[in-house]
Copies of this chain bind each other. A is one copy, B any other.
Amino acid sequence: MEAPRFTRYQAYHKLKKLAEHPFDLAQPGNLTQRRLAHFYAEACGYRLLYGTERITDEVMNALIELADESQALAKMQRMQAGEVMNYIEGFPSERRAALHTATRDFFKKPNPSKKAAEAIRLARNELEKLKSFMAKVDAEKRFTDMVVIGIGGSDLGPRAHYLALQHLSKPGRRVRFISNIDPDDASMALKNLNLSKTLVVVISKTGTTLETLSNEQFVRAKFKREGLKPEEHFISVTCPNTPMDDPKNYVECFHFWEWIGGRYCTTSMAGGVVLAFAFGVEVFVDFLSGANAMDKTALQTDLQHNLPLLGALLSIWNRNFLGYPTTALVPYSQALHRFPAHIQQVEMESNGKQIDQHGRMLDFQTASVIWGEPGTNAQHSFYQLIHQGTDVVPLELVAYRESQCRDDLEIHGTTQQEKLLSNVFAQMIALATGQANENPNKRFLGNRPSHLLLAKELTPYALGALLAYFEHKVAFEGFIWDINSFDQEGVQLGKVLAGRIMDLFLAKKGEEGAPFPLGEALLKHLDFE
C-alpha cells in the first residue's frame, strides 16, 4: 500500500528543507515595519497580520504549492457544492455531504449546484419557520427565559456565540444552558428560574444523545411537579424523523439534517433558536450573512484574499514543519471568552484523526491541541510559559478596534480599549523579537510565532465571519492532510464501555447484566464509609 499523500507531495519535501532554517524573528533588524506591512491579507472586514510568523515569501510560495498539489480549493468547491466529503474510501463510513454552508447561503450568489440549492431551500424554510415562531413569541410575551439542553456541538457553538453577543440581549430575556450528564448541571441551571415563563430548547441531531435525553427528562419532571405542561414549553431541534421530531411532545420541531455535523450546526436552527430568542431574528440573519461572506472568501482563488486557506497554511507550517504540538487561541475580547472552547471542538474533533481518507495510517501529525483564554487575562495566567517555557506555542490572536458596549474610561490619557489593543500588539512584538539580558531569568529567546485577526468591531456579522473563518481553516487543513474532517468514530468506544458499566450499576440493583471485570475493579473504589 502506498504511503499517505501528504508526505509524498513535492511541496512537502521543499517545506521540510525550508524548516531546517526558519526565519529568525529574534535576529535584531529582521522584524521590520516593512515585513509587518508585507505579510498582510484582508477580507470580510478582517485583516490578517502574519509578519510575526516564522515565514518568508519562499515558505509562503511552497505552502501555496502544497495547497495546489492537495487540490485544497477544488475540495472546498466540492464541499460547498454538496458533494459527499465525509467518507473513508474502501471502508463502511458515513458517506455524507458537509453542507453547513447551505444554512447561510441566502445572500449574494447562492451556490448554483443542484445539491446545494436543495439544501439552501430546506434551510430557508427553517429560517422562515423561525421567523414566524419568534414573531409569535414576541407577540404573546409568554416567555422571558430560555433553557438550552444540548451537548458538544449542540452546546458549545450556541453558547459561545450567545455569550459573544450578550450586549444585544432583548430587555428581560435570559438564556441558560444545560449540557453535562452531571445532575448538578441541571439543578444549578434551574435555580431561581420561573418555569412558567421559560421556553426549553432540546438540541440533538440524532434525537438519541444520552446526556441530552436524560437532562430533558430531568427538566420535564420539574415542569410537571409545578403543574406545567412540558409540551407547551419545549421545542426541539433535530433531524427529520428522529424520536425528537414529534409535535406531540414539542410546541415546534425545528430541523437540521445529516449533512450538518454537530460541531458545524451553529448557523442552523441549533444556533438560530437561541440567538433569535435572545437578540431577535435580524441579529441572527446578520450573523449568517457574515458567515456567508467568509464562505465565499474561502472559494477565492487569489490566495491574498483567501483568509481561511492562509490560516490553514500557517497552522500546517507550524504543526508539520516547525513541529509545534499545540496552538493557543487568545481573543483579546472578553465577549469571545468561550469561543476558544468551541473552536477547540471544531478543530480537534474534525482533524484529530490517525488515518487518511483511504484508511491508511498517517505518517505525520494532524490536529494540534487547541486551547486558550481571552487576553489580557491570559497574560496573567499562562503567558509565563508562552514567553519562557521550554515549548513553543504559536498564538492565534483576535482583536477589535472598538468595544461592543462603547462605555469606556480614559485613565492616564488612554482608554481601556486602547490599553487592550496596546497589549495585543506588544505581545506580538515581544514574542517575536524576545530580549537579551545578562540575567538569564530576564532573557526572552523570542521566535515565538503569532498572527492576528483584526476587525473594526465584534458585530453579529463579524462574529459570523470569524466562525466561518475557523470552520474553513479546519476544513482546508483536513483537505491538505487528505483526512476525513467530518466524522467522529473516536467517540464510540467510550460510549459502548460506559453502557457496560451502567449495566454493572443495574446488576447491583438486582438486574441481570453481563460481567465486566475491569469495570467492576473500578466500581469497587466507590465504597466510601
Flag if B344 contacts A382 (CB, 8 Å). yes
What is the 8 Å Cβ interface bit string for chain A, positions 109-124, against chain B (1 contact, 0 not)?
Answer: 0000000000000000
A247 at the interface (CB under 8 A from B): no
* A344-403 residues at the B interface, CB under 8 angstroms: 344-345, 348-349, 351-355, 359-362, 364-369, 371, 373-377, 379-391, 393, 401, 403
User: How far, in angstroms, from A374 to B180 measured CA to CA in the complex?
Assistant: 8
In the complex, 7 of the A-B residue pairs with CB atoms within 8 angstroms, ordered by the A residue number, are A151-B380, A184-B334, A188-B335, A348-B385, A348-B389, A353-B388, A430-B497
Q: Which residues of A (138-185) have their CB < 8 Å from a CB of B?
A: 151-153, 155-156, 166-167, 179-185
A514 at the A/B interface (Cβ < 8 Å)?
no
Report yes or no: A390 in contact with B405, Cβ–Cβ below 8 A. Answer: no
Q: Are B518 and A33 in contact (CB under 8 A)?
A: yes
Complex partner residue of A349 from B214, B371, B385, B492, CB under 8 angstroms: B385
Alpha-carbon gap, A214 to B383, bound state (A): 21
Known contacts A359-B441, A491-B384; is A413 also within 8 Å of B506 by CB?
Answer: yes
Task: Flag A216-243 by CB within 8 Å of B: 1 or 0 each.
Answer: 0110010000000000000000000000
Q: Is the CB of B501 within 8 A of A417?
A: no
Counting CB contacts under 8 A, is A55 at the interface?
no
A382 to B490, CA, bound (A): 10
**Nearest Cβ in chain B — how far from A399, in angstroms?**
9
Whether, in the assembled complex, A333 has its beta carbon less than 8 Å from a beta carbon of chain B, the answer is: yes
Residues of chain B with a CB closer than 8 A to A166's CB: 188
**Given A217-B409, A528-B401, residue A414 in contact with residue B506 (CB < 8 A):** yes
Please pick, from B333, B354, B444, the residue contacting A445 in the complex, using a CB distance under 8 A.
Answer: B354
Q: Are A505 and B418 in contact (CB under 8 A)?
A: yes
User: Which residues on B sit within 8 Å (CB–CB) of A525?
Assistant: 40, 47, 49, 454
**Binary contact track A22-60/B, C-beta < 8 Å → 1, others 0:** 000000000111001100100001010100000000000
Which partner residue on chain B sits nearest A405 by CB separation? B187
Provide the bound-state CA to CA distance between A143 and B335, in Å: 28
Contacting residues, chain B, for A444 (C-beta < 8 A):
490, 493
Does A198 lie at the interface of the complex (its beta carbon under 8 Å from any beta carbon of B)? Answer: no
Separation in Å of the A152 CB from the closest CB of chain B?
Answer: 3
Closest to A364 in B: B390
With most chain B CB atoms within 10 A of its CB, the pick from A151, A373, A421, A422 is A422
Nearest neighbor of A331 in chain B, beta-carbon distance: B182
Is A84 part of the binding interface, using a Cβ–Cβ cutoff of 8 Å? no
Answer whether A381 and B341 are a contact pair too, CB < 8 Å, given A409-B214, A498-B423: yes
Does A98 belong to the interface (CB within 8 Å)?
Answer: no
Q: Are A389 and B491 in contact (CB under 8 A)?
A: no
Chain B residues whose CB sits within 8 angstroms of the CB of A440 once the complex forms: 88, 91, 355, 359-361
Most-contacted residue by chain B among A484, A492, A524 (CB, 10 A): A492
- Contacting residues, chain B, for A421 (C-beta < 8 A): 501, 523, 526
* B31, B214, B493: the one within 8 Å of A430 (CB): B493
Total interface residues on A, CB under 8 Å, equals 159
Does B442 contact A352, Cβ atoms closer than 8 Å? no
Q: A502 interface residue, CB < 8 Å from B? A: yes
Q: Is the CB of A505 within 8 A of B414?
A: yes
Partner of A386, one of B40, B352, B359: B352
Complex-state Cα separation, A421 to B505, whole angstroms: 10
For A391, give its contact among B365, B381, B502 (CB under 8 Å): B365
Would you call A456 an interface residue if the criterion is a C-beta within 8 Å of the partner chain's C-beta atoms?
Answer: yes
A92 to B183, CA, bound (A): 52
Decide if A435 is an interface residue (CB 8 Å cutoff): yes
A411 near B489: Cβ-Cβ < 8 Å: no
B326 touches A418 (CB 8 A): no
Report yes or no: B386 in contact with A422, Cβ–Cβ below 8 A: no
Q: Complex Cα distance A16/B262, Å?
A: 43
Set of chain B residues within 8 Å of A181, measured between Cβ atoms: 376, 416, 419-420, 423
Q: Is A407 an interface residue (CB 8 A)?
A: yes
Q: Which residues of B lie under 8 Å from residue A335 when comparing CB positions?
A: 182, 184, 188
With known contacts A184-B404, A188-B334, A401-B528, A520–B371 Cβ distance under 8 A: no
The 8 Å CB contact of A36, one of B31, B389, B518, is B518
The 9 closest A-B pairs by CB, nearest first: A352-B385, A152-B380, A388-B490, A426-B497, A352-B389, A371-B371, A187-B405, A422-B501, A426-B498
